[in-house]
Copies of this chain bind each other. A is one copy, B any other.
Amino acid sequence: MDVQAWLAERTPLVDRALEALVPKADEEPVALHAAMRHLLFPGGKRFRPALALAGAEAVGASPEDGLPAAVAVELVHTYSLVHDDLPCMDDDDERRGRPTVHVAFGEPVAVLAGDALLAAAFEVLAAAFDPIHPERSALALRDLAHAAGSHALVGGQVDDLGFAGSPAASAGSPPAEGAALARQIESIHERKTAALIAAAVVCGARLAGADDETLLRLGAFGREVGLAFQIADDLLDAGEDDPCTLLRALGPDAARARADALLAGALARIEGLGEPAERLRELARFAVRREQ
């Protein structure tokens, strides 16, 4: 089965779990619950949930074992988009061809819907407690909370917001500054994008019983795939306007070469996992080579 067929089969699993876990739009307060659902249904590519399911599969378990991680990571991702779009952040009016949450429901409800999505992510993982393997959900929770926190997702977003005004971002830098600039940009993407993508793989595998050494490999794989994914995203669409992209810092050829190198590095990390990790590899290639 190719990766697109696998995604077509697995995504409804994630959608159904999200549908069951997020309060219905007719539950009070209806504006809040409708706002929480606005960006979740229909969602995006469900790439992070797919990685969580494939992370479980990679350690010889059923993809369903990673489902609570898949749902939790998608809730964190969705909360972060709702807050990123706010007028005081990126001030975006549209996402995925529809009005953003604050345009549709107002700014206060958008802030609070993001807050509630973040809390819901942890509620889902807490509910995945398994008395036979109690440490699995506890450690997945710790990983997800760290990935959502000030040293990862939120810290990356803060530095991304401050980036446009930083001296390193000024145009016409000489080559030495270009390399420093590229490192600075990758540090932001590592926290803002890659940490949550790595948490998806790791948490999915954790719930499925992965050992510590495998989790280290999967974490490194996820971070490299996350960085490559961000470059691919910027090459596809957003990069032209955004100063905080490798595309702007290095140009398209060097950016694409960096994405390919990151992908190759990521694949090398999980070479030893053999056939069960094939879906992870396919997802990584699919995510990074979308534009080609």
Nearest neighbor of A30 in chain B, beta-carbon distance: B158
Contact A155 B111 (CB under 8 A): no
Q: Which of B112, B123, B157 contacts A146 (CB 8 A)?
A: B123
Contact B109 A158 (CB under 8 A): yes
* Interface window among A114-122, A218-226, A234-242: A114-122
Partner of A138 from the list B112, B116, B129, B157 (CB cut-off 8 Å) is B129
Q: In the bound complex, what is the Cα–Cα distance between A109 and B145 (angstroms)? A: 19
Binds B, one of A31-39, A45-53, A62-70, A272-280: A31-39
Instruction: Report the bound CA distance from A32 to B116 in whole Å.
Output: 21
CB neighbours of A119 from chain B (8 A): 118, 145-146, 148-150, 153-154
A42 interfacial by beta-carbon distance below 8 Å:
no
**B86 engages A150 (CB within 8 Å):** no
B138 to A135, Cβ gap below 8 A?
A: no
Please list 21 pairs of residues, one from A and one from B, whose beta carbons are closer than 8 Å in the complex, sorted by A's number: A23-B150, A29-B155, A31-B158, A32-B150, A32-B155, A79-B115, A83-B111, A88-B107, A108-B158, A112-B157, A115-B115, A115-B154, A116-B149, A116-B155, A119-B146, A119-B150, A126-B138, A126-B139, A129-B134, A129-B135, A131-B134
Taking the closest CB of chain B, its distance from the CB of A200, in whole angstroms, is 16
Closest to A110 in B: B88
CB <8 Å contact, B138 and A134: yes
CB pair B145 A126 closer than 8 Å? yes
Q: In angstroms, how far is the closest chain B Cβ from the Cβ of A121? A: 8
Interfacial residues, chain A to chain B (CB-CB below 8 A): 23, 27-29, 31-33, 36, 79, 83, 86, 88-89, 107-109, 111-112, 114-116, 118-120, 122-123, 125-127, 129, 131, 134-135, 137-139, 141-142, 145-146, 148-151, 153-155, 157-159, 161-162
- Residues in B with CB closer than 8 Å to A127 are 142
- Kindly list chain B residues whose C-beta atoms are within 8 Å of the C-beta of A89: 108, 111
Q: Which residue of B lies closest to A23 (CB)?
A: B150
- Complex: chain B residue closest to A136, CB-CB: B134
A174 to B114, CA, bound (A): 38
Q: A132 to chain B: closest CB distance in Å?
A: 10
Is the beta-carbon distance between A150 and B111 smaller than 8 angstroms?
no
Residues of B within 8 A of A145 (CB): 119-120, 122-123, 126
Closest 3 CB pairs of A and B: A134-B134, A123-B145, A126-B142
Docked-complex contact A112 and B158, CB < 8 angstroms: yes
Establish whether residues B134 and A149, one from each chain, have CB atoms under 8 Å apart when the complex forms: no
Alpha-carbon separation in the docked complex, A125 to B111 (Å): 24
Q: CA of A18 to CA of B118 in the docked complex: distance in angstroms?
A: 21
Nearest chain B residue, comparing its CB with the CB of A127: B142
Question: A116-B154, A138-B126, A145-B123 are known contacts. Are A29 and B159 too (CB-CB below 8 A)?
Answer: yes
